[in-house]
C-alpha cells in the first residue's frame, strides 16, 4: 500500500509538472497565470546564488530543488515540498538538481491575509494550540529515512549553522518560514487549480478559483504550516508588530528614520524586545534589513533603468557613493560599476 501511495504521488507530481511546462512559453519563466493568485515557476540552469527578498507566500515544488539561506539558517527542499513565508525576508537562494532536460518547476501563491485570517478564525485557536503542543514534542529535522523522502530528490531539510537540535527547534518555531511536505489533499487541489487555469472559462475561474484557493489554504493550515501561520496572523502580538514594522521599512527604506520610534510607534514594543523578535523573524537587524532593501533596489535601477552608480546610490538613500560601493561589493561580490554600461 505504501509503495502504491508513493507511486501515485510521484505520478501526480509529474502531471502537475507537465501542465506547468505546457503553459510556460519561455524558460526560465516566472509569471502570473489566468488565475492571478497563482504563478508558474521554471528554471533550467544553475545560476549563481541570487539575492532577493521573499514575500509572504506559499510555494509548492514539483520538480528539481532549491537551497535557500535566510540569516544563519539553510533550507534545502525538492519535489513534493511546501515552503511558506509569513513575512518579507531577505534571502539568498540557488537551484539544485536541475538541467535543461529536467528544469525546476513549481507553483507559487502570494499570501492572501484575508483568506488566511478568515480560516484561522473559523478553525479556532484551540486546534492550533493543541497542534503546537504536539509539534513541540516532535523533532523539527525532517527524517531523511522517511520513505516519502525518496520522492523529493534533494529532500526537504532544515539546517542550522551551529547549535543543537533543540536550539534549531526553538529557532524555527519563531522564524518567518516553515517547511513541510505536500499532503494528498494539497496535491488534489493543485491538480484542480492547474486544470481550471488551463481549461476553465472566465466564469469558472472567477467562481471556482476562489473556492479552490480557499481549500488550498485550509489544507495548508491542516499541515505543519498551520501553527506557523497561526502564530503570525492570529495569536502573537509580537509577530503582528514585526509584520507592521517590516512593511514600514519596505515603504520608507530610502529615508532616514529612528529605529527606536519604529519599535514603539509601529511595532508597539520596547526596543530591546523589538530587535530580538525582528531578527528572529527575518534573520536581520532592522538596519541590516533596510540596507539590504537599498542595495537590491539600487541593483535593479542599474540593471533595468541603466542609472549611474552615483544616481542609484542617492536614489535609494545613500549619502556616500564610496560607502554604497563598499556595501554593494560586500553583498554581490562585484563592483556596482560592472552593472553600468
Domain with residue 303: its CATH number is 1.10.10.60
Domain count across the chain: 3
Residue 265 three-state SS: helix
Q: Are 256 and 209 contained in the same domain?
A: no
Q: Are 73 and 179 contained in the same domain?
A: yes
Residue 81 three-state SS: strand
Question: b/e map of 78-108 (b: 16 or more CB within 10 Å)?
Answer: bbbbbbbbbbbbbbebebbbbeeeebbbbbb
What is the structure's pLDDT at 301? Answer: 95
Q: Are 66 and 155 contained in the same domain?
A: yes
What is the structure's pLDDT at 340? Answer: 74
Residue 213 three-state SS: helix
Shortest CA distance to 286 belongs to which of 113, 93, 92, 90? 90
Q: Are 43 and 102 contained in the same domain?
A: yes
Q: Are 206 and 326 contained in the same domain?
A: no
Q: Are 195 and 269 contained in the same domain?
A: no
Q: Are 151 and 243 contained in the same domain?
A: no
Which stretches in the chain have pLDDT values below 70? 1-5, 25-30, 138-175, 235-236, 341
What is the structure's pLDDT at 161? Answer: 37
Q: Which three cell numbers stand for residue 57?
A: 507566500
Q: Are 168 and 23 contained in the same domain?
A: yes
Q: Are 116 and 178 contained in the same domain?
A: yes
- The helix or strand, by DSSP H or E, that contains position 297, with its residue range, turns out to be helix 286-300
Q: Are 307 and 195 contained in the same domain?
A: no
What is the structure's pLDDT at 138? Answer: 64
Q: Are 88 and 216 contained in the same domain?
A: yes
Question: In terms of residue numbers, what domain contains 321?
Answer: 289-339
HSE-CB at 302 with a 13 A cutoff on CA atoms is 23
Amino acid at each position: 500500500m505504501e509503495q502504491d501511495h508513493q507511486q501515485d504521488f510521484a505520478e501526480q507530481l509529474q502531471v502537475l509538472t507537465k501542465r506547468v511546462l505546457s503553459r510556460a512559453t519561455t524558460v526560465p519563466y516566472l509569471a502570473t497565470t489566468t488565475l492571478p493568485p497563482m504563478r508558474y515557476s521554471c528554471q533550467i540552469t544553475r545560476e549563481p546564488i541570487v539575492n532577493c527578498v521573499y514575500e509572504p507566500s506559499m510555494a509548492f515544488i514539483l520538480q528539481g530543488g532549491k537551497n535557500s539561506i535566510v540569516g544563519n539558517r539553510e533550507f534545502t527542499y525538492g519535489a513534493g515540498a511546501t515552503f511558506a513565508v509569513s513575512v518579507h525576508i531577505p534571502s539568498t537562494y540557488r537551484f539544485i538538481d536541475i538541467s535543461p532536460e529536467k528544469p525546476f518547476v513549481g507553483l507559487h501563491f502570494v499570501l492572501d491575509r484575508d483568506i488566511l485570517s478568515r480560516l484561522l478564525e473559523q478553525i479556532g485557536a484551540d486546534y492550533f494550540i493543541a497542534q503546537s503542543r504536539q509539534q513541540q514534542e516532535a523533532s523539527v529535522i525532517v527524517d531523511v529515512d522517511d520513505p516519502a523522502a525518496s520522492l523529493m530528490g534533494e529532500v526537504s531539510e532544515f539546517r542550522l549553522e551551529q547549535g543543537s537540535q533543540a536550539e534549531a527547534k526553538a529557532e524555527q518555531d519563531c522564524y518567518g518560514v516553515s517547511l513541510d511536505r505536500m499532503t494528498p489533499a494539497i496535491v488534489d487541489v493543485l491538480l484542480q487549480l492547474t486544470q481550471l487555469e488551463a481549461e476553465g472559462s472566465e466564469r469558472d475561474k472567477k467562481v471556482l478559483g476562489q473556492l479552490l484557493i480557499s481549500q488550498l489554504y485550509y489544507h495548508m493550515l491542516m499541515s505543519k504550516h498551520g501553527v506557523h501561520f497561526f502564530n503570525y496572523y492570529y495569536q502573537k502580538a509580537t509577530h503582528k508588530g514585526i509584520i507592521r514594522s517590516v512593511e514600514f521599512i519596505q515603504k520608507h527604506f530610502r529615508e532616514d528614520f529612528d529605529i527606536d520610534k519604529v519599535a514603539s510607534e509601529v511595532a508597539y514594543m520596547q526596543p530591546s524586545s523589538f530587535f530580538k523578535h525582528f531578527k528572529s523573524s527575518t534573520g536581520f537587524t532592522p538596519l541590516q534589513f533596510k540596507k539590504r532593501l537599498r542595495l537590491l533596489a539600487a541593483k535593479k535601477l542599474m540593471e533595468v533603468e541603466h542609472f549611474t552608480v552615483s544616481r542609484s546610490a542617492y536614489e535609494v538613500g545613500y549619502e556616500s557613493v564610496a560607502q554604497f560601493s563598499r556595501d554593494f561589493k560586500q553583498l554581490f561580490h562585484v563592483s556596482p560599476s560592472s552593472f553600468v554600461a
